[in-house]
Amino acid sequence: MGRAFEYRRAAKEKRWGKMSRLFPRLAKAITMAAKEGGEDPDTNSALRTAIANAKAQNMPKDNIDRAIKRASGNDAATYVEVNYEGKGPHGVLVFVECATDNTTRTVANVKSYFNKTGGQIVPTGSLEFMFDRKAVFEIAKPEDFDAEEWELELIDAGLEDIEDHDESVYIYGDYTDFGTLSTALEERGVEVKNASLKRYPTTDVELDEEQTAEIEKLLDKLDDDDDVQAVFTNMA
């Protein structure tokens, strides 16, 4: 499915540098899920997913508990999810997903990052058709894993593709099937290491080392912004 382009996890974590950059994003996702669907993970599938993702990144239990309790606090911020689309240097397409309590601040910051690195924001919806949105699950690879068997059992839940990578298995489906796939995996009792919605480009762009370094300046600025939850590009 041409996934080599995506902000690979290793590269992303290298840019985020350390858990001090990652944990606030995970905590915000937990708080948002708890505020929207309640603080009981047994009855809130979005919260279960957010907690599982945090645990997969070794986020301490105390941090997770505080993020959940923050949802019901008197001073709890109200976050809204907003997306920004832009073009970076050398025609690289950049899709930015944010969660913010101040959209005026966020849009001003995102615009400045693009402007300062030779890019520009484009009207919302301009890049939507240039990316396919997918539900992506990383699960611990079962000892008796059989790809064909799993495909047959999960196809009715929306499975589109399955990939075997060493100790993990990656399961892909349309973003609209996130819930049904999540439920199907829970019913199988498998360990979900990470679950998310990702955007994959319909066409990749090849860059040389110098060009990559230029676009990295923009991506670094975006990654350093606490309002930014995820960034996707069409870099090969």
Structural domains in the chain (count): 1
pLDDT of residue 17: 46
pLDDT of residue 75: 67
CB atoms within 10 A of CB 157: 17
**Helix (H, G, I), strand (E, B), or coil: what is residue 234?**
coil
pLDDT of residue 23: 87
The domain containing residue 31 runs over which residues? 3-70
- Strand boundaries in the chain, DSSP class E: 80-87, 93-100, 120-122, 131-140, 159-165, 168-174, 192-201, 228-233
Alpha carbon dihedral 99, 101, 104, 109, in 10-degree steps, equals -50
- Whether residue 23 lies inside any domain: the answer is yes
Strands 93-100 and 168-174, how do they pair?
Answer: unpaired
- Whether residue 53 lies inside any domain: the answer is yes
- Whether residue 166 lies inside any domain: the answer is no
Question: At residue 114, what are phi and psi to the nearest 5 degrees?
Answer: -65, -45
pTM of the model: 0.84
CATH of the domain at 40: 1.10.10.200
Q: Tokens 């059989």 — which residue?
A: 146
- Whether residue 170 lies inside any domain: the answer is no
- Whether residue 189 lies inside any domain: the answer is no
Predicted confidence pLDDT, tens digits, the chain (236 residues):
334 433 344 454 444 444 457 888 899 999 999 999 999 998 998 899 999 889 888 899 999 999 999 888 766 678 999 999 999 999 899 999 999 999 999 999 999 999 999 999 999 999 999 999 999 999 999 888 999 999 999 999 999 999 998 889 999 999 999 999 999 998 998 888 899 999 999 999 999 999 999 999 999 999 899 999 999 999 98
- Whether residue 44 lies inside any domain: the answer is yes
- Whether residue 24 lies inside any domain: the answer is yes
pLDDT of residue 177: 95
pLDDT of residue 161: 96
**Helix (H, G, I), strand (E, B), or coil: what is residue 132?**
strand
- Whether residue 35 lies inside any domain: the answer is yes
